[in-house]
Structure 1
Amino acid sequence: MQKTSIIAASFFLAFTTLSAQNTINGKVTDATGQSIPFALVKIYSSENKTTVISEKITDENGAFNTQVPNNGSYNVLTSASGYSDSSKSFAFNTVSTSIGISIEREKVSGIKEVVLVANKKKTFERKIDRFVFNTENSIASKGVDGLDVLAATPMVKADDEGNIEIVGKSAVSIMINDRPVNLSGKDLVSYLKTIRSENIERIEVITTPPAKYEAQGNSGIINIVLKQNSSMGFSGNISTSFQRKSRNGYSNNGSLNYQSKKINTSLRVSQFDNEKKSDENLSIYSGNILKTENTRLDKNKGYNINYSIDYKINDKTSVGAIYNFSDTNGNNDSRNFSRYYQGNVLDSTVVSNTYNANKIKNNQLNVYFERKLDSLGKKLYVGGNLFDSRNTNPFSLASESDVNSINYQLNSKYKYKIYSGQVDFYLPFKSFVGEVGGKYTRFNTDTGLDFFVTNTGVPVYDSNRSNSFLYHEDNWASYVALSKAFNEKWEGKAGLRYEYTMVNGVAGNGAEVDNKYGKWFPSLYLTYKPNNKNIFTVSYSKRITRPDARSLNPTTIYLDPYAYATGNPYLKPSFSNNFELGYVFNSKLSVTGYYQFSKDNFGQIVELQGANRAIKYLNNYDENSIGINATYSNTFLKRWDLYASVNYAYVESKGLINQVEGLSSNSLYYSINNTIHLNSNKTFSFLLNFWNFLPHTKGNFKFENVYNLSSGLRMSLFEKKLQVNMTIQDIFKGMKFRGKAYYTDYYTYSNNYYDARTFNLSVTYQFGNSKVKGNNKQIKLEEADRAN
């Protein structure tokens, strides 16, 4: 009853009426009536046509909402990439006015004109609540995959190991077109590699997400925005790429899109097969010393099929479905040397050979209904989702030591099923814009581990080291958000989200978890714009990071004869509060000060149990961080695009358990991105990028210096239908994971390298009507990113 009352109260708040203003609600369309998202609308006084009274960007439905100080006549200038500018006069003589603006496509007759249109959009933009990287104008726009685009995005770090984060922060959520994707870790990497850069319009880095978004992820959201349809007919592309790390790899991709007045549909198919070498070295110093050296060959291959269809019943109503299937196979062969020392004297050596296979099949289905409620842009969204993942993971180990030999085999199976349903309303009114919604998610996990001892050559089942885990999680969520432009200088937005969670888990060994909790997640934004060159912003949001299924699973996974990892079903979620104060000058310089404190952060710790090392998951530290981020972008000599960024932070952590020692440090990260166009048409470009993360701490881990120098060339041929990209990453092998983890009685030292030095050659050919981008709606399912 309490949950019902809270959710009902949240819905009621969305319809609260604020004081009336001279408000303009409008919509921008093309000649056929199609909405034009992200168009620029400027309102000028009819007496002084050089002074901008208001400036707005239309939303994804072409709608905008703004205010004028008085009744009277005003000039409205509208512009959008690929369209002719429109200038019209409107008379506003009531409290609220609704207007419709129609603009026509720009007529171009040659490549030079096309280039001029494309250059209207800046490569980097700083908006009120997010940083925007427009990939179309970057060397990352053709011939690479989605993970490569993220790695080239300022303020973002991404690698093949599934580590994706905003610099100075962590635990971000990945979204596509405002809809979270359904994977994490290596599975997320595999999925991002199926997205082609040709289909990406921009990357949005949202450090303090509004209440509309899921509260999961303590540091923010990275939103990948795909291109939208704008023309009728067929289009498609095919691409192939060659990748050289220490081993060769390749990928092939193709897409076919079709749009008519009623149907918008896309089919995408991708396939990849690559190998890389990984070196992992760990030393534990605790009176005695343990040193391990692990050399691993990782082989990954798979394919992905994505089909989506959107049917427009009429001008106000549409229905659709999205289906995604992926089949990936990863296996690795590794050789491990473990040396044990009594003091500084070698005591024994263990040599192990392992084989690990990982086969994952994912099925995702989303069906949805969208209804436009009026001409101002009010709309209803209803969606249902199903996510099913099956993972089989056989593992075998054969080891020899100075004393004896140990041989065993593991058969692991993981099954994840997630069901969800969601309702969202977008509600622009006379004096404010409201957003309200609710969602229910059911998260089911069924995992099992069968352990066999094979010392005699015949597998013998070991019931003591075998286990299973059944886990269920129910999550109810509702949110309300209100935004209002008080005048031409001040604009505010406030939101409140409530999430109630029930979890229950039972392991075969008797371990059980049963927990219920409900939390509020507020967010607040305030913007002051004294003139066109200066913008001041203040923002706040509260976030949660829930443990994923693997870290909750109490089943013991053996890494070698003397090392094992065990999940913890009693892990608590961690919470963070994020504050930001920002300033933007002339859309080129952006400075943001931030403060974040987080509680009950969880992660892996290493414990020594005799000669064994046990890896466990625990809530082990609280952390405070304060910092400042500055970014600058500009174009010099019409051909040199420069983007520079620097981030300074002071981080202080406090250990929550006896084993973990709290640390504090100053950290500095900086990056310089250069794109130099070698001809006037900008069809031949040179890239030179460098970033450096100086020594810093996270929890009880102190990282050493890490850096990356990358370079590349891009060629656009045959009226930009053929793209050839060549890039080199980590030229000086600076992307090494090195550092110490400090515990009360001991410390560990890691020195790992994951084959980051890479040469990539890709060729992409676009055919058909290049303005048809395909149906890019994505599955609206959040909890599945915790399934792996």
Structure 2
Amino acid sequence: MWFAPIFNQTAYIPKKTFIPMKNYTPKSYTMKNLLIIKLLVFGLILGFTSTQAQQKKPPVKKGQKRQMPAIGKVYGVVKDASTGKPVEFATVALVNMRTKKIVTGAIANDKGKFSISEVKLGMYQLKVNYIGYKVKTLGPIKLFPKKYRGDGIEQNMGEVSIASSTEKLGTVTVTAERETMEIKADRKVFNVEKNITSTGGTSLDALQNVPSVDVDQDGNVSLRGSANVTVFIDGKPSGLTGSGRQAALEQIPASSIKKIEVITNPSAKYDPDGMSGIINIVLKKNVLRGMNGFVNLNVGTNDKYSGSLRLGLRTGAVNAYVNYSGNLFNRFMNSTNVRETYNDARDTTTFLNQVGDGDMQFHSNLLKAGIDINLNEKNTLTFSGLYSIRGFGRDMITDQVNEQQVNGGNRTFLSRSLLNNELGSDGNNMDFNAGYKRYFNNPDKVLALDIRHSRSSSLFSSDLALAPRNEDGTPTGGNSALTINETDNKFNITTAQLDFELPVNKSVKLEMGLKTTIRNIFNGYSVLNDATGTGNYIPDLTQNNDFRYDEQVHAAYGIYNHELTKKLSFQVGLRVEQTMSDAVVENTDQSYKNEFLNMFPSGFVSYKISKQGTFTANYSRRINRPRTRALNPFIIRIDANNQFQGNPALLPEFINSYELSYTHTHKGITLNMTTYFRDIRGNIQRILLEDNVNNIITRSYDNLESGRNYGIEGAFNMRATKWWNFTLSGNFYKTEIDGSNLENELNNEAFSYQTKLLSNFKFSSKFNAQVTGRYRAPIVLAQGEMEEVYSIDAAINYKVLKGKGTLGLRVSDIFNTRRYGFLTNGTDFMQVGNFKPETRIAFLSFSYRFGKMSMDARKMRELRKKRRKRKKRRGNNVPNVDGIN
């Protein structure tokens, strides 16, 4: 039996935060929805009242209660103070100066005109408000006949000019008041756009600050201790993450990210790939009406530069945008590696000591453009395209010494060499997307079609020069052995998805859909050797190879949602996938074909024990398909003592994932506690195979018998004061690995934990700061463990240029403690390694926002259209959505 959370549960949102309504259709709203809109519209201006003014009122007879006739009228036009253009759909309210309450109001039309009729005579103030503008107050308005010292029963306010407010825009658009963490029914949402400790960095830096997410020295992303995680961009798989996830994520600047969603137990609607779930990176989009833009520039110590530019144009029917980002990073690094290899037959031990220093450079340029077209209130088209180019280079010099010990005696010198390894990679990526959405009278009834094609290519080269040295490190005078490795990678991914949401009644909803994914991947590998160092390179035909991998996945899913009571609801779903794959090693004519049908059930149950607390339980079955690099069987020589070889016989691993969680939200506090258990069959693990005769270690992958991962995860967000809020998170878990099916019986288990603290300080409306600390304890591997990692980052921001600009300074890894180490044990070897990249970096940043600062009025226009239709259908004596007759 499966258990699940409420499908439409929302997290705690502070009262000051404005959340734009998505996919709003005028004909679809019930009376309850109209009441909600009423509260939203007038909630924006409620409370903006001033002191009571005392004026002489018309005389009344003694003993009779004064009753003012509703014969007054107030009208005018709202205009932008800077441009003089009308402000569409501004909210106008009349506030009684005696009671300080809103008595009536109106919404300006598309020409900025407003008119409030049938107003009781009295003393009023006029409040004019619109998102992105300062509140304008006019008055007192003496709505009396002139003979009673009034200004008349009709008041023409003329042109009411309102000024734009960047401060207000920051609150509404950038959700400055929104909490750092939100707990939704099926995911945790981390609003990282105000996370200034990743300023100047990439999406990898932003991911470092997300609870339960970890990024290692190679840019590998893991969730709850598992690297088997699927990364989406804007809810969809992208070619950016199809060919080298690290290089892809380094192309996305942190300044372009709005939020990061973590879905640890996705429903049947989502692809079941990834053992630990889905990380969805949501990029910023244009939500401002008119022409607007944003520019961000960053410079870091030791030649690090990055920048981004966003331009957007939104009208009533069209939203067009262009985004560009580029970066150039230089970093230095050093590493040590010590290996002992045992040969029992000869009673000898061989020692390898490697010490390396190097420099790395990464550069990228990314351009994305798109357009959303609202054909009418029920039909929307979306088109977008992305093009990126990237390059990577690394120059590493390693001094390596080989020694030997026989029969437990003293170590004797064998050889010494200097290895110069120059790596280089260049590539490009293209994404194309077309989407269509159809809305119906019921807002929960939606039909969506999405077609996406991604293609990427890259050329990776490695130049190895092995120069012999004497024992004291001086050159021997001999020639260097030279090797050139080249890998040509090409990825083509096409997806087509159709989703349909159908509400049966108020408590039952159905979801169904189809999806097809086609992947075509090519790896070409070639090796040139020059043993004499004279420049006469000879192809090594024993290593040259081409590898092709083709895969098709056809899926269908169905989900049943039922809200039994206001407190109890459940969801059950089933996804069926037919997978066909074909892997071919061309020079050996080896072919590995797989075809299988799999079912992936999911289930959620949610029980709301109070307004603040909710229990949820869920289950899903998942799959982790091996990556093409793990399947490719030809050998890649890293250096003379290390190489990599994939396993074409590698099979997917299947995971049964269970969760039970509790969420509590109350007065600025959000608490989430989750206990989870994952049972893994056919556990894919990275293994090391030793050749103790030639002193070579081969890295590969294999399917182990099983694995288990279970633990407790907690996240606590609190707004302690008006100027300080923090998020504290932790994950304590145990990993068990059962490799009894292999010859060496790779069994291992251990407890581990990680914790993060994100603390925000708002000293004034212009000045804020942030400090982030993180610690990850050692984690277990099939043949050893990864050592602990910890660091502290800090940043400050200051608003300039009347709030339109922001200056920032951040320092990552202040105490320079972030280093990565590992310990690996095999049957006949032991290896200890450390890698220390440049992590203490200071970034100075500047960002500037320009253009028209007003929110999209499309939804307000639809609101007015709905109101007119209701009045026409029911007569004029019906309250409007804003409470005005």
Judge same fold: TM > 0.5, yes or no.
yes
Distance 1:293 1:197, change over 3 A: closer
Deviations 1:214-268 (A, max 9, x none): 1111101122234454442111111111122xx3210121121111122211111
Indicate whether 1:163 and 2:220 are aligned. Answer: yes
Indicate whether 1:435 and 2:511 are aligned. Answer: yes
| 779, 784, 787: which one aligns with 1:701 | 784
Partner AA of 2:134 in structure 1: V
1:8 is aligned to none
| 723, 735, 744: which one aligns with 1:639 | 723
Indicate whether 1:583 and 2:644 are aligned. Answer: no
| Contact in 2 for aligned 1:67/1:485 (Cα 8 Å) | no
Partner AA of 2:454 in structure 1: F
2:265 is aligned to 208
1:60 Cα deviation after fit: 4.2
**Distance in 2 between the 1:512 and 1:189 partners?**
29
Deviations 1:297-326 (A, max 9, x none): 111112111111122222222223211111
**Distance in 2 between the 1:181 and 1:300 partners?**
21
1:437 Cα deviation after fit: 1.1
Distance 1:757 1:194, change over 3 A: same
2:497 is aligned to 422
| 160, 184, 191: which one aligns with 1:127 | 184
Distance 1:255 1:187, change over 3 A: farther
SS class of match (2:227): coil
Identify unmatched segments of 5+ residues in structure 2.
1-7, 47-106, 109-128, 136-164, 343-348, 406-410, 470-477, 858-885
1:41 Cα deviation after fit: 13
SS class of match (1:734): coil
| Contact in 1 for aligned 2:364/2:391 (Cα 8 Å) | yes
1:363 Cα deviation after fit: 1.4
1:149 is aligned to 206
| Contact in 1 for aligned 2:687/2:782 (Cα 8 Å) | no
Deviations 1:708-760 (A, max 9, x none): 11111111223432122211111223221112123233332221122222222
1:545 Cα deviation after fit: 1.2
Distance 1:249 1:450, change over 3 A: same
Partner AA of 2:525 in structure 1: L
1:79 Cα deviation after fit: 6.5
> Rg bigger for which structure?
2
| 649, 670, 681: which one aligns with 2:733 | 649
1:372 Cα deviation after fit: 1.8
SS class of match (1:313): strand
TM-score, normalised via structure 2 length: 0.74
**Distance in 1 between the 2:40 and 2:674 partners?**
29
Distance 1:443 1:116, change over 3 A: closer
2:683 is aligned to 601
Indicate whether 1:316 and 2:400 are aligned. Answer: no
SS class of match (1:232): strand
Distance 1:472 1:80, change over 3 A: farther
Partner AA of 2:549 in structure 1: Y
1:39 Cα deviation after fit: 11
| Contact in 2 for aligned 1:717/1:723 (Cα 8 Å) | yes
**Distance in 1 between the 2:498 and 2:660 partners?**
33
**Distance in 2 between the 1:730 and 1:640 partners?**
22
Indicate whether 1:258 and 2:336 are aligned. Answer: no
**Distance in 1 between the 2:430 and 2:34 partners?**
53
| 667, 677, 698: which one aligns with 1:614 | 698
Partner AA of 1:165 in structure 2: S
| Contact in 1 for aligned 2:461/2:487 (Cα 8 Å) | yes
Indicate whether 1:487 and 2:569 are aligned. Answer: no
1:92 is aligned to none
Distance 1:699 1:81, change over 3 A: farther
Partner AA of 1:177 in structure 2: D
| 321, 334, 348: which one aligns with 1:279 | 334
| Contact in 2 for aligned 1:273/1:300 (Cα 8 Å) | yes
SS class of match (2:205): helix
Distance 1:114 1:307, change over 3 A: closer
Partner AA of 1:595 in structure 2: F
Distance 1:744 1:317, change over 3 A: same
1:669 is aligned to 754
Deviations 1:159-218 (A, max 9, x none): 673222224333222223322333338844444444455553322211111111111111
**Distance in 1 between the 2:371 and 2:168 partners?**
33
2:832 is aligned to 749
| 608, 628, 632: which one aligns with 2:712 | 628
**Distance in 2 between the 1:67 and 1:263 partners?**
24
1:62 Cα deviation after fit: 4.5
**Distance in 1 between the 2:41 and 2:787 partners?**
44
Distance 1:283 1:72, change over 3 A: closer
**Distance in 2 between the 1:140 and 1:711 partners?**
6
| Contact in 2 for aligned 1:40/1:80 (Cα 8 Å) | no
Distance 1:735 1:556, change over 3 A: same
Deviations 1:408-450 (A, max 9, x none): 2223211121222221112222132222111112111222122
1:111 Cα deviation after fit: 6.6
| Contact in 2 for aligned 1:593/1:628 (Cα 8 Å) | yes
1:89 is aligned to none
**Distance in 2 between the 1:80 and 1:211 partners?**
34
SS class of match (1:180): coil
Partner AA of 1:501 in structure 2: T
Partner AA of 2:789 in structure 1: V
| Contact in 1 for aligned 2:214/2:223 (Cα 8 Å) | yes
| Contact in 2 for aligned 1:506/1:513 (Cα 8 Å) | yes
1:124 Cα deviation after fit: 1.7
| 674, 678, 683: which one aligns with 2:763 | 678
1:116 Cα deviation after fit: 6.7
| 820, 845, 849: which one aligns with 1:766 | 849
Distance 1:409 1:703, change over 3 A: closer
User: Which runs of structure 2 are paired with 1:71-86 in the superposition (5 Å)?
Assistant: 76=36, 84=44
2:629 is aligned to 550
Which range moved further: 472-481 or 77-86? 77-86
Distance 1:404 1:199, change over 3 A: closer
User: Which runs of structure 2 are paired with 1:453-492 in the superposition (5 Å)?
Assistant: 453-454=529-530, 455=532, 456-492=534-570
**Distance in 1 between the 2:14 and 2:772 partners?**
34
SS class of match (1:494): strand
1:326 is aligned to 388
Distance 1:450 1:79, change over 3 A: farther
1:411 is aligned to 486
1:498 is aligned to 576
2:589 is aligned to 510
* CA-based RMSD: 3.3
Partner AA of 1:578 in structure 2: S
TM-score, normalised via structure 1 length: 0.82
1:617 Cα deviation after fit: 2.3
1:404 Cα deviation after fit: 7.5
Partner AA of 2:237 in structure 1: P
**Distance in 1 between the 2:199 and 2:802 partners?**
14
Identity over aligned pairs, percent: 25
Deviations 1:496-537 (A, max 9, x none): 112221111211223321111221111111111121121111
| Contact in 1 for aligned 2:685/2:782 (Cα 8 Å) | no
Distance 1:734 1:226, change over 3 A: same
**Distance in 1 between the 2:234 and 2:535 partners?**
53
SS class of match (2:179): coil
| Contact in 1 for aligned 2:198/2:254 (Cα 8 Å) | yes
| Contact in 2 for aligned 1:236/1:770 (Cα 8 Å) | no
Identify unmatched segments of 5+ residues in structure 1.
1-24, 26-36, 43-56, 87-101, 775-788
Distance 1:136 1:329, change over 3 A: closer
Distance 1:741 1:393, change over 3 A: same
Distance 1:764 1:73, change over 3 A: closer
Indicate whether 1:714 and 2:676 are aligned. Answer: no
**Distance in 1 between the 2:790 and 2:328 partners?**
27
SS class of match (1:501): strand
| Contact in 1 for aligned 2:455/2:492 (Cα 8 Å) | yes
| Contact in 1 for aligned 2:29/2:442 (Cα 8 Å) | no
Partner AA of 1:630 in structure 2: G
